[in-house]
């Protein structure tokens, strides 16, 4: 996919924030999403929530043909309420949540020797089972490409060397990653006010 312009990034972050606010208030309506014409096509998206620097939820869609705005809104709601690793986000936490978006390219088959840790995200699958890790995970932990591949196998519920076995499929994607925190820092640098408390909306 083509790179997103700054205004498009801000727009998608606003969509995610509105969806998060609506989700924690139990509104659940996606009928009034803001509209942006000519949004670039993508291979899907992940919405990651952090609170006080720690993961608070992450949900994504891969290979979806849905509109990118709809994907971001759906995943923001899912990250807030449906990540099985966490309790649902509550209203008192929302002001401390930082939203990070990963806008994905379409996955393509890749051979192990072509994998670049920190550049590629990975999907390892066999039958109905699959594991997915975003490219920033390898960068965060300083993994090599082989270690990243092994960890993706583990995420899928396979043995760490399952990528060597016939029948195991390996796909890679790239991601454009950006967050509210980055834009808030930019705003602070030019003297604009920081967001201290979210505005709640009755619709998204």
pLDDT tens digit sequence for 126-154: 999 999 999 999 999 999 999 999 999 99
Q: Which domains does the chain have, with CATH numbers?
A: 6-105+175-189 (3.30.700.20), 108-173 (3.30.1490.150)
Model pTM above 0.85: no
pLDDT tier, 26 (very low <50, low <70, confident <90, very high otherwise): confident
pLDDT tier, 31 (very low <50, low <70, confident <90, very high otherwise): low
Burial 29-52 (b: 16+ CB within 10 A, else e): ebeebeeeeebeebbbbbbbbbbe
pLDDT tier, 63 (very low <50, low <70, confident <90, very high otherwise): confident
């Amino acid at each position: 996919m083509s790179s997103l312009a700054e205004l498009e990034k801000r727009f998608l972050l606003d969509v995610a924030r509105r969806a998060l606010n609506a989700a924690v208030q139990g509104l659940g309506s996606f009928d009034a999403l803001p509209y942006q014409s000519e949004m670039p096509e993508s291979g899907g998206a992940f919405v990651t929530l952090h609170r006080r620097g720690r993961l608070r939820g992450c949900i994504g869609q891969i290979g979806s043909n849905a509109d990118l705005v709809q994907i971001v809104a759906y995943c923001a709601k899912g990250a807030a309420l449906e990540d099985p690793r966490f309790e649902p986000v509550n209203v008192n936490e929302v002001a401390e949540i930082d939203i990070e978006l990963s806008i994905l390219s379409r996955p393509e088959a890749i051979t192990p020797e072509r994998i670049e840790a920190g550049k590629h995200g990975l999907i390892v699958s066999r039958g109905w089972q699959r594991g997915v890790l975003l490219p920033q995970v390898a960068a965060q932990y300083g993994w090599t490409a082989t270690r990243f591949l092994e960890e993706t196998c583990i995420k899928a519920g396979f043995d760490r060397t399952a990528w060597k076995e016939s029948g195991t499929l390996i796909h890679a994607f790239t991601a454009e990653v950006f967050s509210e925190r980055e834009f808030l820092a930019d705003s602070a640098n030019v003297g604009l006010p920081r967001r201290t408390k979210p505005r709640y909306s009755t619709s998204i």
